[in-house]
Structure 1
Amino acid sequence: MSSWVRIGDRVKTKAEMDARAQRAARGYASLGVGCGDVVAVYMRNDFAFMEASLAAGLCGAYVVPVNWHDTPEEARYVLENSGAKVLVIHADLWRNIGHAVPASVAVIVAETPPGLRGSYRVGDEAAKVPAGMTDWESWLAGFAPAAPPFPTSPGSMIYTSGTTGHPKGVRRQPPTPEQALASQQMMRLVGGLTDWADRLGDVVLLIPGPAYHSSPNGWMFSFYNMGANIIVEPRFEPERMLATIASHRVTHALVVPTMFVRLLALPAETRSRYDLSSLTFAMHVGAPCPPHVKRGMIDWWGPVITEHYGSTEVGAVTFCTSDEWLAHPGTVGQRLPGCAVVVMDEEGRELPLGQSGEIVCGRDLYPEFTYHDDPGKRAKSARGHLVATGDVGFFDADGFLYLSGRASDMIIFGGTNIYPAEIESELMKVQGVADCAVFGIPDDEFGEKVCAFIQPAAGAVLDEEAVRADLKSRLAGYKIPRRIEFASTLPREDTGKIFKRKLKEPFWQGTGRSI
């Protein structure tokens, strides 16, 4: 029996999707797409997103999933930089950015399906394919399925969103058979499939985050290609996630810490309403998780929560179970087999246990990468044969890694380094704080000072001095925010993660410094 994919209330079998991807592959070939070329996908979570991506792999082409929150100019940069030959896009999104798409790119427009219209308040007219544009469904129907053998898929070329300059496209070499096998074995280990080897058809993976992100994209297609069943949510909604786990007996899920925060914010009676006993493996990745939040989730869901750490460039390099985390609160795990993880100082020397420094990583049998069209950036990230992740952290005496924060997020206050993640973790312990974002803003005397944006919980009344007083017992004085802003809502991605850049930009405009 063919495995299936559910998106919202719609379901397709893997066999149906594969046949449609093969039609699209023949269609791409008619547009000149071949090995090493690029197909861009600018879509929300939808079957067409998956089919268009799978088809690129069947051509030996890279797929570039573009963040559909991008402005027209940001989208133009990715399309031009990647050299995309084809763009597949939802109709309402085309209406937003179509004027910025380079004339050299062949455009195929998919109707925005009803399930997505409601989630994103898209009108029926905006959801239709504009007259004169190539319609995805009609276009597919014009091609017979491409036949094997197919070239090796190079996978996705993810554009990482840095805090400075343009995003970088991580372009990886197509894997050798040995590398592909090693990656699949690692995916099975980190993805919690070692006990499911003979019954992958019983696995149900839930992806509640946007598929343009590196982790949801990678895990979604890895589980799909191994024959598991997949549920992809149109967008993350806390109670809907619980209902989905309960009603479809979800066994595996991929989550990020912000989702934990929003799940824990649900009323106790709502949380207790759903049977989550089918869940055996809840992977979290993507950002540091405040210890009290993770402990709360383990208390609720049980020891099914695992964590792995890595990057788009090197994949997963550390891993920990719930029990390991409870014994080492705050850790992101120990080195995985075949992985190198080193903490270095500014001179490239390995630091002793307990000392924070730059985290550099590498994996055996992992395809080499470059930053597309920018070998200089690739060289800058190299630390010998390893790669700098952009994170700062340290190892404890038992070999468990801890993150201090992003090097690029670091606030330099009068020559002292401050990492926002530590302050955010402490702010989340303050009674009445629902969520927060901490970053540096200009200061005439100290260069930068700590600024915090706080979203109060429903009904909570907070004031600056009370928040600072709460923090004083847990943070050094120089780490306590000098400026605190309260906001009923904070700008967010589909995952619920805060768009910190949107908060920072107004403070740095006109200073001559990019963020």
Structure 2
Amino acid sequence: MEAVVPSDAGAPAIRCAGQERGYPAFLERAARIATGLRAAGVGPGDRIAVVLRNEPAHLEITAGAALLGACAVPVNWHFKQDELRHVLTDSGSKVVFAHTDLIEAVGAVLPEGVRIVEAAVPAGLAAACGLAAPPPTGAHPLLDDWLAGWEPLAQPAAERPPTVIYSSGTTGRPKGVLREPVPADRLASAVERFLEYFAVAPGGRTLIPAPLYHASPSQHAVLALAAGLDITLMPRFDAEEFLRLIEHHRIEQVQVVPTMFVRLLRLPKEVRERYDLSSLTSVVHAAAPCPPHIKHAMIDWLGPVLREYYGGSETGAVTWCDSAEWLAHPGTVGRASGTGAVEVLGPDGRPLPAGTTGDIYLKPADEWPQFTYLGDPDKRAAMEAPGLPGYVTIGDIGHLDEDGFLYLSDRRHDMVISGGVNIYPAEIEGALLALDGVRDAAVFGIPDEEFGEVLAAHLETEAGVHLGAAAVRAHVAERLAGYKVPRAVVFEQRLPRDESGKLFKRRLRDPYWAGRDGTI
């Protein structure tokens, strides 16, 4: 959904790592950026790329592009050369905004004719990210100087732009999700839905701890701007700093991923109790299954403020549940809300009865835009449910209960078939996270001559903890069926997750399958 900014600016501000911008200054800078982009040849329907860490400028550029009817494409600044080249080329971006320390990487893969605007790394941001603030390269205009040279755009474009968000590339090359423009009435409905389900009032205070290059935090920021919320961005997630910011800014609403819950719960009790979190009214989580014991612990700590939704970049949030509903239906990710709908289908494409596991198909809410994939309409068509117009799958497996609540088993591509038995690694990962000393876990299938696949578990342990493979297997065997016990147990210094907590399981799995036809 396109970036929108409130027409009446008030006390709320946008801040990050020592920078703070009130809405009047934010709006003026966005309007100046729009004029500068127009002078660079950017117009309605065009795209620009934003290769920046979290900071107010990220949102200003997004809002400035939207004033022109253009689309700002947030780019994962962790991407390596081939991934970065693909996104900049595939998106067709005409201008790239990048932090100084990322200029070299961007310049090495920049398509011909594309301009760069360089953003200095603010001192507070550099300190939070462990960087030595690099001096400007001198090769490109600096953002603050560049925008100061333009008058604010006087007349915004009449047309709202389509939007593009790229996947993080956990299962292959990043793919661009292209969403159609949203009419004004549907946008207003989306903002109302956001305020209702995220349980926050206009002008309320929100904290965004995840990178803006991901779909959920990006969408959260856009809707928070549209609602005129006071927005605090974290440069990177740090568990204790997260608590400090909630107390300091009296944060009312946050959106997180389950990995952040795990890291928060790993803090010593005396650290967690040091901070006043009573301002919180809504802690929303999504993006990955949350182990039930983790969610129980969070509700015990924070009270019944947890809310969960399920959906994807392509569909938006389709199911919702609050703490009371989850406690009554442990493990659920909610039931369809508003005009959204869910079906679980079998191999024949027919709906399955309650309690039966199958492929999950979602019908997005009416206010959510239609989408396709840049350059890959066939992939979009393959997601559709035969005989169920408007329903698409994002690759997950699960079941519905008698009350219509949805439960996830795993991603379809993560499911392991061992000796003809379907195994869902997420269940085993949840069990491993309950083992004292285990900080993170990844379970996946590896080749086996007899069974086709067997399970491997790669674990990250707490500092100073020494676990043996036998103890890990015994822990799982006490809780789950024998065929769910990992055959291989490997201890890693750190599992490959990005800043939002998304696990790059492919990087662990691929070496096991290298050289086997049809597996990579």
Per the normalisation by structure 2, the TM-score is 0.94
Is the CA contact 2:19–2:56 (under 8 Å) kept in the aligned structure 1?
no
In structure 1, what is the equivalent of residue 32 of structure 2? Answer: 23
Equivalents in 2 of 1:240, 1:253: separation in Å?
Answer: 14
Cα distance, 1:162 vs structure 2 = 5.2
In structure 2, what is the equivalent of residue 463 of structure 1? Answer: 468
Instruction: Read off the aligned partner of 2:212 and give its amino acid letter.
Output: A
Say whether residues 1:78 and 2:87 are aligned partners: yes
In structure 2, what is the equivalent of residue 217 of structure 1? Answer: 218
1:127-152 Cα deviation digits (max 9, x unpaired): 23212212212211111000134334
- Map of 1:499-514 to 2, 5 A cutoff? 499-513=504-518
In structure 2, what is the equivalent of residue 123 of structure 1? Answer: 132
1:245-281 Cα deviation digits (max 9, x unpaired): 0111000011110000000000010011000000001
Instruction: Read off the aligned partner of 2:229 and give its amino acid letter.
Output: A
Cα distance, 1:45 vs structure 2 = 0.4
Picking from 17, 29, 32, the partner of 2:41 is 32
Percent of paired sites with the same residue: 46
- Map of 1:92-491 to 2, 5 A cutoff? 92-124=101-133, 127-154=134-161, 156-161=163-168, 163-193=170-200, 196=201, 200-201=202-203, 203-362=204-363, 363-383=365-385, 384-491=389-496
Instruction: Read off the aligned partner of 1:57 and give its amino acid letter.
Output: A
Equivalents in 2 of 1:215, 1:494: separation in Å?
Answer: 13
- Give structure 1 stretches of 5+ with no counterpart: none
Equivalents in 1 of 2:416, 2:115: separation in Å?
Answer: 43
Instruction: Read off the aligned partner of 1:28 and give its amino acid letter.
Output: L
1:191-227 Cα deviation digits (max 9, x unpaired): 113xx2xxx22x1100011111100000112111211
Equivalents in 1 of 2:136, 2:503: separation in Å?
Answer: 32
- Does the residue aligned with 2:93 lie in a helix, a strand or coil? coil
- Does the residue aligned with 1:397 lie in a helix, a strand or coil? coil
> Which deviates more from structure 2 when the two are superposed, residues 491-500 or residues 94-103?
491-500
Equivalents in 1 of 2:428, 2:359: separation in Å?
Answer: 19
- Does the residue aligned with 2:333 lie in a helix, a strand or coil? strand
Cα pair distance change 1:277/1:152, threshold 3 Å: farther
- Does the residue aligned with 2:242 lie in a helix, a strand or coil? helix
- Does the residue aligned with 2:334 lie in a helix, a strand or coil? strand
> Which deviates more from structure 2 when the two are superposed, residues 404-413 or residues 244-253?
404-413
Instruction: Read off the aligned partner of 2:109 and give its amino acid letter.
Output: A
Instruction: Read off the aligned partner of 2:144 and give its amino acid letter.
Output: E
Equivalents in 1 of 2:451, 2:71: separation in Å?
Answer: 46
In structure 2, what is the equivalent of residue 52 of structure 1? Answer: 61
Is the CA contact 1:154–1:172 (under 8 Å) kept in the aligned structure 2?
no
1:8-53 Cα deviation digits (max 9, x unpaired): 1221111111111111111111122111111111111012211111
Cα pair distance change 1:367/1:281, threshold 3 Å: same
Is the CA contact 2:395–2:412 (under 8 Å) kept in the aligned structure 1?
yes
Instruction: Read off the aligned partner of 1:214 and give its amino acid letter.
Output: A
Is the CA contact 1:63–1:155 (under 8 Å) kept in the aligned structure 2?
no
Picking from 74, 86, 100, the partner of 1:91 is 100
Equivalents in 1 of 2:240, 2:158: separation in Å?
Answer: 42
Say whether residues 1:8 and 2:9 are aligned partners: no
Instruction: Read off the aligned partner of 1:117 and give its amino acid letter.
Output: A
- Does the residue aligned with 2:352 lie in a helix, a strand or coil? coil
Cα distance, 1:398 vs structure 2 = 1.5
Instruction: Read off the aligned partner of 1:287 and give its amino acid letter.
Output: A
Is the CA contact 1:423–1:438 (under 8 Å) kept in the aligned structure 2?
yes
Equivalents in 2 of 1:135, 1:512: separation in Å?
Answer: 49
Cα pair distance change 1:98/1:444, threshold 3 Å: farther
Equivalents in 1 of 2:511, 2:199: separation in Å?
Answer: 43
> Which deviates more from structure 2 when the two are superposed, residues 360-369 or residues 306-315?
360-369
Cα distance, 1:181 vs structure 2 = 2.5
Cα pair distance change 1:163/1:456, threshold 3 Å: closer
Is the CA contact 2:460–2:495 (under 8 Å) kept in the aligned structure 1?
yes
Cα distance, 1:160 vs structure 2 = 2.0
Cα pair distance change 1:267/1:50, threshold 3 Å: same
Instruction: Read off the aligned partner of 2:218 and give its amino acid letter.
Output: N
Number of aligned positions between the proteins: 507
- Give structure 2 stretches of 5+ with no counterpart: 1-9
Cα pair distance change 1:179/1:12, threshold 3 Å: same
Is the CA contact 1:334–1:400 (under 8 Å) kept in the aligned structure 2?
yes
Per the normalisation by structure 1, the TM-score is 0.95
Cα distance, 1:165 vs structure 2 = 3.8
1:464-507 Cα deviation digits (max 9, x unpaired): 11111111122222221111111232222112443323222332
Instruction: Read off the aligned partner of 1:159 and give its amino acid letter.
Output: Y
Cα distance, 1:163 vs structure 2 = 4.8
Cα distance, 1:512 vs structure 2 = 4.1
Cα distance, 1:94 vs structure 2 = 1.5
In structure 1, what is the equivalent of residue 4 of structure 2? Answer: none
Measured on the aligned residues, the alpha-carbon RMSD in Å equals 1.6
